[in-house]
Chain A
C-alpha cells in the first residue's frame, strides 16, 4: 500500500510542475505588452515602463523568471487581483466554500438519484421502465446545462415564482459568515427562515449542475449492476434465501459501487466546468464566476493563479479517489 501511495504521489510532481509551466506560459502568450498585461496599466511613459519591467522581473531571462515564479508559489504568494488589490489566495479562499456547497449539493443529488435510477433500470432490464430511464439519462448526458438553467428559471422562478433567480441568500437576512457554507451559517445564526431561504436559492443551481453527473452515474450503475448480477456469489446468496432487498442493496450494489467510484473522480473536472456555467447563470458567488469575470476584465494574476489553484484541486481529488479505489480493490494497488 505504501509503495502504491508513493508511486501515485510521485506522479503528482511532474503534473503539478507542468501546470505551473502552463500558467507561466499563458500570461506570456497573451498578445500585447507584458507590463500592460500584468499591471493592467496602459500607455506608461518609457521610464516608468522600464521600471515596471524591472520590478516585475520581466527583463530577466525566461528560465530565471520561471524559477522566481516557482519560488513565489512555494512561499504561498499568488499575487494580487488588479481590480480589488486583494490577494488572489484570500479571494479564492472566501469564494471557494460557495462552490463546494453547490458542487456538494449537486453531487449528492446526482449520486442518490443516479444510483437509484441505475439499480432500478438494471433490475427491470429490457422493460419500458429501463428504456425510459436510460433514454432520460442519455438526454441528461447531452444537456447543454446553460440552456437547462434558463428553462428551469423560466418555469420555476418566472412562471411559478417558487425559487429565487440568483444569489445565495435574500438581502433581507443578515447572516454572519462563519464557515462560508450558507446552509450551515444560516442554521448557526438566529435569523428565522434564513435556512429555508438558503435552501431555496441552492436547489435550482444544484439540479442544473447535478444533471450530467446524474446521467453518468445512472448509466455506470446500470452496467456495473448488470455485470454483478451475473456473478456466482449472487446466485449463492439468493440460494441461501436472502431477501431481495438485502441481495440488491447490500451484496450487489456494494460491489457495483467500485466502478462508480471512479466516475466520481472523473466528474470533478466536468463538475468544475459545469460550475463555471452554473455560477455565471445564477450569479452564484463561487470560483467559476470569479474566473470568468477575471477573464472578462483581463485580471491576469487572478486568471493565472486561479487556474493553478483549480488544477491543483482537480489533481488532488483524483489522487484521493485513486487511493480510495486502491484501498477498495487490491488488484489496482499491486499493478505496476
Chain B
C-alpha cells in the first residue's frame, strides 16, 4: 500500500502585515519620524508629570529669561521663559498635547463623514453622487485657511471650533479619494461575485469594497493630520484659534512677535516644535505611502 507522497509544502507567502513592516523598516527616514512621533506622544500623554511647571504659572521675577545654556539663563527654566515669565519648556510640552489632540480629533471628524459620503458618491452615480461631488467642488473653491477662518467667524474662536473648522475644510479630500477608490473597485470581479451571492448594498459598501480602498485613505489621513496641526497653528497665530493663555504653539508665536528683537527663543522654539512634528508626520506619510501602495510610490 503506497501512501501518497506528501504534497510539496505550499510556498510561504509573507503575510501582508509582515510585508508592510519589512517595506516600512527599509525606509530610515520614516523610522526616525516614528521615533520622534513616539516622543511627542509621550510628551502629550504625560504632560502634567513631565513638565517642570504649570504652563500658566507666571514667574514675575523671570520675564523673558534666556535658555539655561546662555548667559543669564536659569537652570530652573531649561528653555527660558516667555514675556509673562512662564516656563517655555512646560508650555511646549503641554502644547504637544493640544496639537496632537486637535490633529486626531479633526482627522476623525472629517475621515468618518468623508468616507461615508465618498462611498455614497461612488455607489449612487445617478443623483446622489454628482450632488455630493458638486458640493465638494464648492468647498474646494475656497482656500482652506480662508474657509476655516470663515467657519471660525461664524462659530467663534476656541478649541472645539478650531477642530470643527479644520474637519470641515479637510472633508473634500477624503470624499474625492474614497469615491475614486470605489469607482476603481466597483467593477472588479470580486464585487460582482459578492453581489451575485446576494450581498446587500450595505454589505457591498462596507465589507466588500471599503477594505480595499483603505491604503490611500490611510496615507491621506496621515497628511491630513499634519495639515491639521499646521492649520490649527495658523488659526492660533491669527488669534482665531485656541485662545490664550492655553499653551497652543501657534498662539504662542503670535504673542512672541513683539519680542523678535530681544528674545529669539520665544520666537524660535514653538515654531521648531510645529515644524518638527509636521515634518515627522509627513515623513511617516511618505513611508506609509511607499509601503502600502506601490502604485503611488515615487520611482527611486
Return chain A residues, CB-CB under 8 Å to B268.
151
Please report the C-alpha to C-alpha distance between residue A276 and residue B143 in the assembled complex, in whole angstroms.
10
How many Å from the CB of A108 to the closest CB on chain B?
A: 20
Contact yes or no, A141 B233, CB < 8 A: no
Interface residues of A in 76-101 (CB under 8 A from B): none
Summarize B's interface: helix, strand, loop or mixed.
helix
Residues of A within 8 A of B256 (CB): 150
> A34–B240 Cα gap in the complex (Å)?
22
0 or 1 for each of B139-162: is its CB under 8 Å from A? (1 = yes): 011111110011001101000000
Contacts A158-B260, A277-B145 given; indicate if A150 touches B253 (C-beta within 8 A): yes
Cα–Cα distance between A144 and B144 once the two chains are bound (Å): 15
Are B298 and A144 neighbours in the complex by a CB distance under 8 Å?
no
Nearest CB in chain A to that of B268: its residue: A151
Count of A-B residue pairs with CB < 8 Å: 135
Q: Is B298 a contact of A30 with CB atoms below 8 Å?
A: no
Which A-chain residue is minimally distant from B280 (CB atoms)? A142
Quick check: B138 and A269 within 8 Å, CB to CB? no
Find the residue from B140, B153, B154 having the highest chain A CB count within 10 A: B153
Is B298 a contact of A226 with CB atoms below 8 Å? Answer: yes
* Surface stretch bound by B, among A44-52, A185-193, A233-241, A306-314: A306-314
Question: Interface range on chain B: under 10, 10 to 19, 20 to 34, or 35 or more?
Answer: 35 or more
* Chain A residues touching B, range: 35 or more
Tell whether, in the assembled complex, residue B271 and residue A276 are in contact, meaning their CB atoms are under 8 Å apart. Answer: no
Tell me, yes or no, whether B108 is within 8 Å of chain A by CB. Answer: no
Interface string of A147-160 (1 = CB under 8 A from B): 11011011000100
A311 contacts B261, CB within 8 Å? no
B53 CB to closest chain A CB, in angstroms?
A: 24
With A292-B238, A314-B142 already in contact, 5 other A-B pairs whose C-beta atoms are closer than 8 Å: A26-B150, A31-B156, A142-B278, A274-B145, A291-B146
Q: Does A138 contact B (CB under 8 A)?
A: yes
**Chain A: interface secondary structure?**
helix
Is the CB of B286 closer than 8 A to any CB of chain A? Answer: yes
Given known contacts A19-B138, A147-B253, is B154 in contact with A276 (CB within 8 Å)? no
Confirm or deny: A214 has a beta carbon within 8 angstroms of a beta carbon on chain B.
no
Q: A interface vs B, CB < 8 Å?
A: 11, 14-15, 18-19, 21-22, 26, 29-31, 125-126, 130, 135, 138-139, 141-144, 146-148, 150-151, 153-154, 158, 219, 222-223, 226-227, 230, 269-270, 272-274, 276-277, 280, 291-292, 295-296, 303, 307, 310-312, 314-315
Known contacts A19-B141, A142-B282, A273-B144; is-contact A303 B260 (Cβ 8 Å): no
Residues of A within 8 A of B47 (CB): none
Closest to B149 in A: A295
Q: Which residues of A contact B144 (CB under 8 A)?
A: 269-270, 273
Q: Which residues of chain B are within 8 angstroms of A277 by Cβ–Cβ distance?
A: 145, 234, 237-238
A266 CB, min distance to chain B CBs, angstroms:
10
Q: Which residues of chain A are near B253, meaning CB under 8 Å?
A: 146-147, 150
> Shortest CB–CB separation between residue B252 and chain A, in angstroms?
10
Tell me how far the C-beta of A33 lies from the nearest C-beta in chain B, rounded to whole angstroms. 15
The answer to whether B300 and A126 touch across the interface, beta carbons within 8 angstroms, is: yes
Complex alpha-carbon distance, A302 and B295, angstroms:
45
